[in-house]
Structure 1
Amino acid sequence: MLVRTLSAAMVATLVWLPQAYAGSQTIPGNGEGQVEFNTPSGNIGCIYTPKGGTSIYQPQDGGPELSCSRIEPSYITVILGPNGSATQIKNPGEQGCCGDVAKLAYGNSWSKGPFSCQSSKKGLTCAAGNGHGFFVSKAKVTVK
């Protein structure tokens, strides 16, 4: 009887553990403060650029900036700055999304500067501190 009770407790613990560890995920940036991450599916990839940009890239408004791209079913990019609504680009010329970078696990969130993102099996939701943001999935893209 004790073995059954211990076995049941072990199974319950193993089922509970993934939810217990879901939460905030830290993803380190490169030497210039840029952070890259993908969703576990590999279909959505994001790049955070800090205020002032990097030696290679300067956000249009000086930053900070969060840019996320979706590969399938069509390639799109959504850009969110610190002010105003997110911008959706339906046919970006540059299509270099989703390399071998950190994965933002389903159920986890990430935040840097004024931005925060939540990864789920349904898609990726990101927002700026000003209330504007976007949702990206294989099925749809919504910006606000």
Structure 2
Amino acid sequence: MKYVWLLMALFGTGALAQSATSFNAGFSLPSGQLQCGLFSDGGQASLRCDVLESTFRRPARPADCPLDYGDSLSLGVAGRATFTCHGDTIVDPARPVLAYGQLWQRAGLTCRSSTAGVRCLNIDGHGFELARARYRVF
């Protein structure tokens, strides 16, 4: 239990929700309606972005997902972006704000903030665009 409290003190509770091996880095869009967190699980970095109060039509929840689905996208350093089956949130009011038009780069992942949402890419050129009103995976 001491280990859990130490991780919470060092990384915040959002990092623990993803994985005990996570590190808490990321950003929030100025609207506060979209937050992204960078995580490491077993040495592999991935970015997860949660959109609050989405208005787009969410994709159908897979049968093997008993939790929330369709409001969170994940992107690894390689490969395609996928929707996240999750029972938590990465929302953290302490995350730094990525001003519109600014670029964020970490661990082979690049995101650009805009008034239309966020666009994130990995080294393979795969990624996603995410906003309250729409999403696109490519």
TM-score where L is the length of structure 2: 0.67
May I ask how many residue pairs the two structures share in their alignment?
A: 104
Cα distance between partner residues in 1 of 2:92 and 2:134: 18
1:95 aligns with 2:89: yes
Cα distance, 1:138 vs. partner?
1.0
2:114 corresponds in structure 1 to: 120
1:140 to 130, 134, 137: 134
Which amino acid in the other structure matches residue 88 of structure 2?
E
Cα distance, 1:99 vs. partner?
2.1
TM-score where L is the length of structure 1: 0.64
Cα distance, 1:98 vs. partner?
4.3
1:66 aligns with 2:47: yes
- Is contact 1:42–1:98 with CA below 8 Å preserved after alignment? no
Relative to structure 1, is the Cα distance of residues 107 and 88 closer, same or farther in structure 2, using a 3 angstrom cutoff?
A: same
Calculate percent identity across the aligned residue pairs: 30
Deviation per residue, 1:4-55 (Å, 9 max, x gap): xxxxxxxxxxxxxxxxxxxxxxxxxx6x853121000000001112xxx3xx
- Is contact 1:43–1:98 with CA below 8 Å preserved after alignment? no
1:83 aligns with 2:64: no
Which protein is bigger by CA-based radius of gyration?
1
Cα distance, 1:125 vs. partner?
0.3
Cα distance between partner residues in 2 of 1:108 and 1:71: 21
- Is contact 2:27–2:35 with CA below 8 Å preserved after alignment? yes
Give structure 2 stretches of 5+ with no counterpart.
1-10, 12-21, 56-69
RMSD value over aligned CA atoms?
A: 2.1
Give structure 1 stretches of 5+ with no counterpart.
1-29
